[in-house]
Amino acid sequence: MNQLFNSIKIGSKELKNRLVMPPMTRSRAGNGEVATELMADYYAQRASAGLIVSEGTQISQQGRGYAWTPGIHTEEQIMGWQKVTHKVHENEGVIYAQLWHVGRVSHHSLQPDHQAPVSSSEIVAEGVKVFIDPDNKGPEAGVGEMIQHSKPKALTIPEIKEIVKDYAKAAANAMKAGFDGVEVHAANGYLINQFIDSNANNRTDEYGVTLENRLRFLKEVIIAISNEIGGDKVGVRLAPFTTLQGAVDATPEATYLEAAKILNEIGVGYIHIAEADWDDAPGSPDSFKKELRQVFRGALIYAGHYTKEKAEDALAKGWADMIGFGSDFIANPDLPYRLENDLKLNQGDKDTYFGGSAKGYTDYPSYK
């Protein structure tokens, strides 16, 4: 027991414990989708995590799906993130940038020239909403509107190739911004997931129909990024058994074990499995976890409704190497200390999770 507080090496980085602060959208980026000093304070407060993965960070304006989320595709955005990584490193933390393209989960008002968002296919996920700021009040007001995502346009093959280049460029930008690595968001119904999952992909070309074709975009993105920054600095987030944002696969175990084999061949540093985090949600079958451990040699991170006890059990059984604690890290900047010493946890204020200022963001007290 207490493996949570043992060190672990991922790539060239020795991490001080096995707690991960997973990516969590907080919608507090400034004008131009630039990371702010406030965001730097927020991440630095949580630098005692073994690994921080930043909130989803769009690789291009086309990749943006929500108001007040940060990007990593302009020089100003790179400079904004440099403030964050500098403060995290000052506090002896390790931080990866999560690279994000939302695909169809966007609205034309957020897109370049108000164009339709893009996807693998021209399929609308009914009831899937995005967050916009119609009156341009900014994140501090914390007032926006949830609306149905716009009908997407199916990407052409040349357009797919350009997005692969966007991912590689974003990874290079992340290293320029001082991140220790990148995590590619291939989960939760966003663009890469829209290619992988069978019900979100009705293409009939080399990116559709067969499992090999549906995994092609993921493979090309990860190869391009690995060639740019080195595979050991790359993680990939997958969500095999959730059905978020209308992405459902007919054979998730077979699909995602094959994805893991591809990622193993490329040589990425870790796979990050996003499990459902609501009560009574279906978990990942033990059979899948055991097979995943067999086919993937890198580190395995799991996140989704974990307690200290559940996390220690996962580590003891050997199918997990690190565990993500989401909302607990929002409310407890010193979460590793509290968990190690069995101290009471602060409770998060859900009304301040998205948008706003320092309240509910950087004002949660540390135990000491």
| Residue 277 clears pLDDT 90, i.e. is over it | no
Q: Is the pLDDT of residue 280 over 80?
A: no
User: Span 318-328, mean pLDDT?
Assistant: 96
Q: Cα–Cα distance between 83 and 282 in angstroms, integer?
A: 39
Q: Is 58 inside a domain boundary?
A: yes
Within-domain flag for 25? yes
Tell me whether residue 324 is in a domain: yes
Residue appearing with tokens 């296919």:
121
Active site residues: 190
Domain range for 193 is: 3-352
| The pLDDT value given to residue 1 | 65
**For 194-243, what is each residue's pLDDT tens digit?**
999 999 999 999 999 999 999 999 999 999 999 999 999 999 999 999 88
How far is C-alpha 363 from the geometric centre of its chain's CA atoms? 24
Is pLDDT above 80 for 98? yes
User: Which of 185, 163, 172, 237 has the alpha carbon at shortest distance from 57?
Assistant: 185
Q: What is the mean pLDDT of residues 348-368?
A: 95
Classify residue 212 by burial, with Cβ atoms within 10 Å: 0-12, 13-18, 19+: exposed
Q: Are 237 and 270 in contact (CB under 8 A)?
A: no
Q: Is 206 part of any domain?
A: yes
118 in a domain, yes or no?
A: yes
Residue 277 in contact with residue 305, Cβ under 8 Å?
A: yes
CA distances from 224 to 11, 23, 216, 230 (A): 18, 22, 12, 10
How many structural domains are present in the chain?
1
According to the model, what pLDDT value does residue 243 have? 86
Span 262-269, mean pLDDT?
Answer: 98
Half-sphere exposure of 132 (CA within 13 A, CB side): 15
In a domain, 360, yes or no: no
Nearest to 145 by CA among 178, 175, 119, 107: 107
- Give residues with Cβ within 8 angstroms of 148, minimum separation 6: 126, 127, 128, 129, 130
**CA distance linking residue 366 with residue 48, whole number of Å:** 12
Vertex 219: Cα angle to 217 and 225 (nearest 5): 100
Residue 358 covered by a domain: no
Residues 307-333 as b/e (b if ≥16 CB within 10 A, e otherwise) read ebeebbebbeeebbbbbbbbbbbbebb
CATH number for the domain harbouring residue 327: 3.20.20.70
Is residue 212 domain-resident?
Answer: yes
Residues across the chain:
368
Q: Judge whether 36 and 147 are in contact, CB under 8 Å.
A: no
